[in-house]
Structure 1
Amino acid sequence: MNRFVVISGCSGGGKSTLLAELERRGHAVIEEPGRRIVREELAGDGAALPWVDAAAFARRAVAMALADWETAARLEGWVFFDRGLVDAAAALEHATGEAVLEALGRAHRYRRQVFLTPPWPEIYVNDPERPHGFEAARAEYERLLEAYAALGYAVSILPKTSVAARADFVLETLAV
């Protein structure tokens, strides 16, 4: 869908903060599947936590991203995704070796223009939902950069600047 915009990239790179700003400006936002899954798993038995069972986590992320796609279709205007199906499929492929990225990534398209937050060690922090280190986040970023490019998306790397300036950059880029 041409109005479905993905904000992806490096963990701890400021995606969620940027999306909160876009939501504050009146745009629809779909929360990252991974964060929702981790919260649910931490409240439950924790069997599908990414650091416990990466494949189970990725399968849940794919299912949730597909459900998010359906939910977003009922929303008006720009819909900004904090990660999406490409991220989930890339995680599943990385965890299991199953070749799912191409099929899933081509069947459910987002706007061709995607935005990636680059590795930014100065703002990277761990939290209970993100216990992995910066190098793991950087490796994930590299996989996502490859995945989006391989699927024909035009990737814009977000500048390392204020949240407001990043939001302006996204909206100005989409206006072109």
Structure 2
Amino acid sequence: MNAQPFSHPVRTGSLPGKRAFAFDLAPGAEERAAVAKALGLLDLPALRFAGELRPVGRKDLELEARLVADAVQPCSVTLAPVPAHVEETVARRYLDDWAEPEGDEVEMPEDDTAEPLPDMIDLGVVAMEALALALPLYPRAEGVDLGEAVFGPPGAAPLRDEDLRPFSGLAALKDKLAKPEGEG
């Protein structure tokens, strides 16, 4: 049993040799609800992932697809529902001769679409990953502001954001130092 809420596995060995494999995935309400839960969404009214896997060279594959989704996220400040519309182009290159970088420190590759060629590509997982990356990290409901942080122990005057500006006193110090001695 697959633990993924939205799964559409494709065995890379069973793909047609020199032709593209087209797909058009639109999960039903139950699968969308499971994806929404997995991604921490309030709702996922629409999700569609369509494109093709095509051979490149002798053994490599290229995925090019379009992700379209309507999602409802909780506001990062108030938890109120915040709708989001996503339209993303998804590109992946699966390379047969992939070599894992070795060493303690590794530079990020310029091509972040390249991955090792697996025996199976789960198009549902690719769609969920693309959706998670495309959604706003900190959605805010319209008109919502973060507000001001106020800190302090009970009975003491609270510290406000305005009081904690580290360079706020420099202007006064500069003016004081600029005045000739004897003035002031």
TM-score by length of 1: 0.26
Q: Give the TM-score normalised by structure 2.
A: 0.25
Q: Tell me which protein shows more helix as a share of its residues.
A: 1
Larger relative contact order (CA 8 Å, sep ≥ 6):
1
- Answer 1 or 2: which has greater strand percent: 2
